A and B are shown apart, each in its own frame.
Chain A
Amino acid sequence: MSQTKNTSNLLWGATALGALGVLGAYAAAGPERFWANWILWFVLLFTLGLGSLFIVALEHLVSAKWSVPVRRIPERLATLLIPAVPVGLIALAAIPVLYPGARPEAAHHPLLAGKAFWLSLPFFSARTIVALALCLLGLWVLVGGSLKQDATKDPAFNFRARKFAPAFMAIFALVITLIAFDWLSGLTPEWYSDIFGVYVFAGAFLSGLATTALCVLHLQDEGRLEGVKGDHLYNLGGFLFAFTVFWSYIGFAQYMLMWYANLPDEVIWYKVRLAGSWRLITLALAGLHFVLPFFALVTRDSKKDPRRLRRVAFLMLGAHVLDVYWLIFPILGASPRFSWPELSFALFFLGGILLWIRGAMQKGEDMPVGDPFLREGLEFRL
C-alpha cells in the first residue's frame, strides 16, 4: 500500500515539477516553442483517448466477444478525452501564433486566400469545439452506459451500443480528420494530403492499443483481470502487429504519391523532413514505428509473450510520440528542438496522464461485469 502511495507522490511531484518547467518555458523559450509543445501533447492526449474509444466502439460495431473481458481498460483510457477538452480549449490560444492560415496576411496569400474562411480563427475554434463535444457524446453513450450496466446488468445497453456504434464510426472519422487537418497539417496550410486523417487515425489506434496492452499486462501482474489469458493477449498483439503495417502502408502511400508527382507545394513538406537532422528522425521513425515492431511481433508466440508484448507496446508509444513530434516540430526550424522545455512538457503531461489512468484504474470493476457476453469472452480460445 505504501508503495502505491510512493508512486502516487512521485507522479504528483513529476507533474508539479513539469508544471514549473512549462511556465518557465513560456517565459524563456518563447510562445512559438511553448505552443508547439502544447499542441504536441494535446494531440497525444487526444489520440490516446479517441483511439481507446475507437477500440470500444469497434467491439460494439462487430459484436466482438473476445475483447469483452478487457473492454473496461480502453473504456477507462477513453476518459482521457475529458482532460483533453480543457487542454484543447487552451490550445486555441496557439492558433494566432502558429497557424499561418489564421493570420490576417493569409487573405492576400495566393494559395490561402481561397481557404481563408476555413482557416480563420473563429471557424477553426468552432470546429475544434464541435469535435471535442462529439467525442464527449461518444464517451457518454459508450463508456457511461457500460459503467452503468455494472450495477443494472441490463442487456439493453448492448443493443443501444450496437446501434450507436455505426453512427459513432462516422463521427469518429469526421472528428479525427478534422483534428488531423486543422491541428497538424494546418501548421503548413499550403500543403495538403487527403490521406492525412487516416494516417493520424492509424497512430491514434496504435497508441490506444499499446496503452491498453500495457494496462492489461500491469493489471495482470497485480492479480486482477482473472481469466484473461494468452489468447486475449494474442489478439491485442495481433492488432498491434496489423496496425503497425497499416500505419506504414498509409505513411508510405502518402510519401510515394507526393514523391512521384513532385509538385512543389506537396514535396516541400517532405523536403524539410528529409533535410539535415530531420532526415535521421524520419529514418528512426521508419525503423521504430515499422521495422522493429514488425519483426518483434511477426511470430505467433511473440504476440502471446507478456514480456515481448510489453516491450513492443512501450516501443509503439514512444514511436507514436516521435511520430507526432515529427509532424509538428519541423515548423520551428531546420534542426529538431529537444531540451528542457520539451522535457518539462513531457513530465507535466505524462505525470498527469499517468495520474488520471491510475485514478481510473482504481475505480469500479475491472471488467464489465454486467455485460451478458463477459462469460463468452472469458471462454475465448484461439
Chain B
Amino acid sequence: MPETSYSVLGVFETPDALMQAILKVRASKLGTVEAYTPYAIHGIDEALGLRRSPLGGMVLVMGILGALTAFGFQYWISAIDYPIITGGKGAGSWEAFIPIMFEVTVLFATFTAGLGMLHLLNKLPFFGHPVLSSKSIKGITRDRYVLALEAENEAFDSEAAAKTLRDAGAIEIETLPAPDRSPFLTSDYILRTLGGIFAACVVAGLGMYFATKWFPLLKPMANMQDQPRLNAQKASTFFKDGHGMQLPVPGTVARGYLPTATGTQEEAAALVNPLPRTKAVFATGRKVYTNRCEVCHGAVGNGVGSLTAAYGAKPANLQAQQFRDYPDGKIYWAIVNGKNAMPSHAPYLSEQERWAVVHYVRALQRAQNAKDEDLKVAAR
C-alpha cells in the first residue's frame, strides 16, 4: 500500500442502506462521493448530486455542425468549384444533399458521443482504476453496494473517511491507492501500436494477394456487378435494334443549345443580343473567337488568319465598313447558318457563346477604329 491513500471504500449490504448512507457521507465533505453498484439504482444520480452530463449538448452541437459541414462541402463542390449538371438537376440542388447531410450528422454525433464520453468525460485512457483491483470488486459485481470517498486533494484524511463510512453503516472498509495516471502514450507504446498495425497490414495484404491469385473467380459480392442493366458499348436484348446505347430521341436539344429560328439573314437583322456587356461575357467571346474564328478571320478580325495563306481562301474582313454596319443579328445569323465557304458553327457553340462572340467581334471592330474618346475611356 503506498503512503498516500486515494480513496476509502465502504461496503453496504443493501441498496437501501447505501442510499441512506449517501446523505451522511456527503455531509461530511471529506471528498468526492462515488458509488459502485452491480446494477443501476433509481434515484442515485440525484442522491449523489451528480450534475447533468454535458454530453447531450456536445452531441447536439456537433450533430448540427456535421449537417452544416456536409451541406457546405456538397454545395461548394457542386455549385461553386465544379458546377456540372447531372441528371437534369441544377447546380446546388439541396434535395440531393439531404441523405449525405444525415449521414455526416450521425457520424459527427456518434463520434462525439463515443470519444466525448470515453476521453473527455471519463479521462480514458489510463492504466486500470484501483477499484478494479480492490478486494471489494467481487462484491460490487455481485451483491454488494459500495460507497467510495475519493481524494480531492493531497490532505485526504483517510482515517476520518473510514470512520464516517463505518458510522453510516458500512460493514467493511477498504483503503485504495491512487490510480496509475502515468503517461499513456509512451514511445514504447506508440512503436508497438504502429508495429502491430504494420503487421496487420502485411498479413491482410499478403492474404488478399494470394486469395485473388489462387481464387481469381471468387466474387464475394456480385450483386452490384451482375445486374440486369444496360452497359455502354454493349449489346442488349432490351431494345429492338439490339444496342445497349440508343440515339437521343429525334428533336432532342441539349441545355443551352436551343436553336434560334433565324430565317433569312435579312430577317435575322432584327434580333437583339440578349447578353449584357460584362467582363465575363467578353472573356467567353474572346475564348470562342480564339478557338473557332481566329484561324480564318485573324486575331484582330481583318480576314488574315493563319489558314488564309495556306489555302488561298478569302475570309471576310470583319473590319470592312460593310461588316461594321452589320446589325448584331446578321453576324449571329452567319455564325448559326454559315456564309459562303464558312460552315455553320451552331453544333459547336451554345446560344450564350454565339452571342458572346458577337459582342467580341464588336469590341474588335471598335478597337481597330478607336476614336479619341475611346482612348480617354481606356485611360480611366
Interface residues of A (CB under 8 A from B): 252, 255-256, 259-260, 262, 298-300, 381
Known: A256-B98, A260-B96. 10 other contacts (CB 8 A): A252-B98, A255-B95, A256-B95, A259-B95, A260-B87, A260-B95, A262-B88, A298-B60, A300-B56, A381-B42
Residues of A within 8 A of B96 (CB): 256, 260
State the CA gap A381–B42 with chains docked (Å): 7
Question: How long is the Cα–Cα vector from A262 to B90 in the complex, in angstroms?
Answer: 13
Cα of A256 to Cα of B56 in the assembled complex, Å: 30
Closest Cβ of chain B to A5, distance in Å, is 43
Q: In the complex, what residues of A have CB within 8 A of residue B87's CB?
A: 260
**Complex: how many Å from CA A200 to CA B273?**
52
Interface residues of B in 330-371 (CB under 8 A from A): none
Closest Cβ of chain A: how far from B70's Cβ, in Å?
A: 15
Taking CB atoms, residues of chain A closer than 8 Å to B42 are 381
Q: Once bound together, how far apart are the Cα atoms of A45 and B321, in whole Å?
A: 81
Complex Cα spacing A9 to B98, Å: 50
Closest residue of B by beta carbon distance from A382: B42
- C-alpha gap A255/B95 in the complex (Å): 9
Task: Give the chain B neighbours of A255 by CB distance below 8 A.
Answer: 95
Expressed in whole angstroms, the minimum distance between the Cβ of A105 and any Cβ of chain B is 30
Whether the Cβ atoms of A299 and B98 lie closer than 8 Å is no
Q: Which of B88-110 contact A (CB under 8 A)?
A: 88-89, 95-96, 98-99
Min CB–CB distance B299 → chain A (angstroms): 45
| 7 closest cross-chain pairs (CB), A and B | A381-B42, A259-B95, A256-B95, A252-B98, A300-B56, A262-B88, A298-B60
1/0 per residue, CB under 8 A from A, across B20-61: the answer is 000000000000000000000010000000001000100010
Bound-state Cα–Cα, A260 to B98, Å: 13
Q: How far is the CA of A252 from the CA of B96 in the complex (A)?
A: 11
17 contacts between A and B (CB under 8 A): A252-B98, A255-B95, A256-B95, A256-B96, A256-B98, A256-B99, A259-B95, A260-B87, A260-B89, A260-B95, A260-B96, A262-B88, A298-B60, A299-B56, A300-B52, A300-B56, A381-B42
Which residue from chain B places its CB closest to the CB of A379 in the assembled complex? B42
Minimum CB–CB distance from A4 to chain B (whole Å) comes to 37
- Cα A252 to Cα B99 in complex, Å, equals 10
A381: chain B residues within 8 A (beta carbon):
42
Residues of A within 8 A of B56 (CB): 299-300
Query: Once the chains are docked, how many angstroms separate the CA of A262 from the CA of B42?
Result: 54
* In the bound complex, CA of A256 to CA of B87 (Å): 13
Chain B residue at minimum C-beta to C-beta distance from A295:
B60
User: How far is it, in angstroms, between the C-alpha of A298 and the C-alpha of B60 when the chains are bound?
Assistant: 9
Cα distance A298–B109 in the bound complex, in angstroms:
14
Q: Give Cα distance in the complex from A299 to B95, angstroms.
A: 27
Contacts of A300 in B (CB 8 A): 52, 56
Residues of B within 8 A of A262 (CB): 88
Cα–Cα, bound, A356→B98 (Å): 42
How far apart are B289's CB and chain A's nearest CB, in angstroms?
37
Contacts of A299 on B, CB cut-off 8 Å? Answer: 56
Question: Which residues of A sit under 8 angstroms from B99, Cβ to Cβ?
Answer: 256
B212 shortest CB reach to chain A, Å: 36
Which residues in window 185-217 of B have CB below 8 A to A? none
CA distance A348 to B89 in the complex (A): 46
User: B80 CB to closest chain A CB, in angstroms?
Assistant: 22
Give the complex CA separation of A381 and B56 in angstroms. Answer: 20
Bound-complex Cα distance A277 to B96 (A): 24
Query: Shortest distance in angstroms between A264's beta carbon and chain B's nearest beta carbon?
Result: 13
* Minimum distance in angstroms from A137 CB to a CB of chain B: 39
Q: Which residues of A contact B98 (CB under 8 A)?
A: 252, 256
| A-side contacts of B52, CB under 8 Å | 300
Contacting residues, chain B, for A298 (C-beta < 8 A) = 60
Chain B min CB distance to A222 (Å): 28
Residues from chain A with Cβ under 8 Å of B60 in the complex = 298
C-alpha gap A260/B95 in the complex (Å): 9
Q: How far is the CA of A207 from the CA of B52 in the complex (A)?
A: 32
Q: In the complex the two chains form, what is the Cα distance from A260 to B89 in whole Å? A: 8
Nearest-neighbour CB distance to chain A for B197, whole angstroms, equals 38
Question: Which chain A residues lie closer than 8 Å to B95 at the CB level?
Answer: 255-256, 259-260
Docked complex Cα distance between A381 and B95 (Å): 41
- Distance in Å: Cβ of A223 to nearest Cβ of chain B: 25
Closest CB of chain B to A98's CB: distance in Å?
31
How far apart sit A256 and B96, CA to CA, in the bound complex (Å)?
A: 7
Q: In angstroms, how far is the closest chain B Cβ from the Cβ of A377?
A: 15
Cβ-closest chain A residue relative to B43 = A381
Closest to B102 in A: A249
Chain A residue at minimum C-beta to C-beta distance from B59: A298
The distance in angstroms between the C-alpha atoms of A256 and B94, with both chains bound, is 10
Q: Tell me the complex Cα distance, A259–B99, Å.
A: 14
Find chain B residues with CB under 8 A from A256 CB: 95-96, 98-99
Give complex CA distance A325, B277 in Å: 49
Q: How far does the alpha carbon of A298 sit from the alpha carbon of B99 in the complex, in Å?
A: 20
A37 to B362, CA, bound (A): 64
Chain B's nearest CB lies how many Å from the CB of A103?
A: 33
Per-position contact with A for B127-156: 1 when CB-CB < 8 Å, else 0?
A: 000000000000000000000000000000
Closest CB of chain B to A12's CB: distance in Å?
Answer: 46
| A contact residues around B88 at 8 Å (CB) | 262
Nearest Cβ distance between residue B53 and chain A, in whole angstroms?
Answer: 10
